Amino acid sequence: MDKQIIKIIKGGITEQKVDAIVNAANNSLLGGGGVDGAIHKAAGPKLLEECRTLNGCATGEAKITQGYNLPAKWVIHTVGPVWHGGNNDEDGMLAKCYRNCLTVAAEKGIKTIAFPSISTGAYHFPIPRAAEIAINEVIDFLNDRPVFDRIVFVCFNDETFSSFNRVLNARVP
| Separation of alpha carbons 126 and 119, rounded Å | 9
| Separation of alpha carbons 2 and 9, rounded Å | 17
- Condensed to tens digits (0 to 9), the pLDDT of residues 82-102 reads 999 999 999 999 999 999 999
| Separation of alpha carbons 77 and 24, rounded Å | 6
- Residue from 51, 88, 91, 89 nearest 68 by CA: 51
Active site residue 140: no
Global pTM reads 0.97
- The residue extents of the domains of the chain are 3-171
The three-class DSSP label of residue 85 is coil
Catalytic residue among 2, 19, 36, 144: 36
Domain covering 3-171, topology = Leucine Aminopeptidase, subunit E; domain 1 (3.40.220)
- Condensed to tens digits (0 to 9), the pLDDT of residues 109-165 reads 999 999 999 999 999 999 999 999 999 999 999 999 999 999 999 999 999 999 999
- Condensed to tens digits (0 to 9), the pLDDT of residues 14-61 reads 999 999 999 999 999 999 888 999 999 999 999 999 999 999 999 999
Alpha-carbon torsion (81, 166, 146, 23), positive or negative: positive
pLDDT at 173 over 90: no
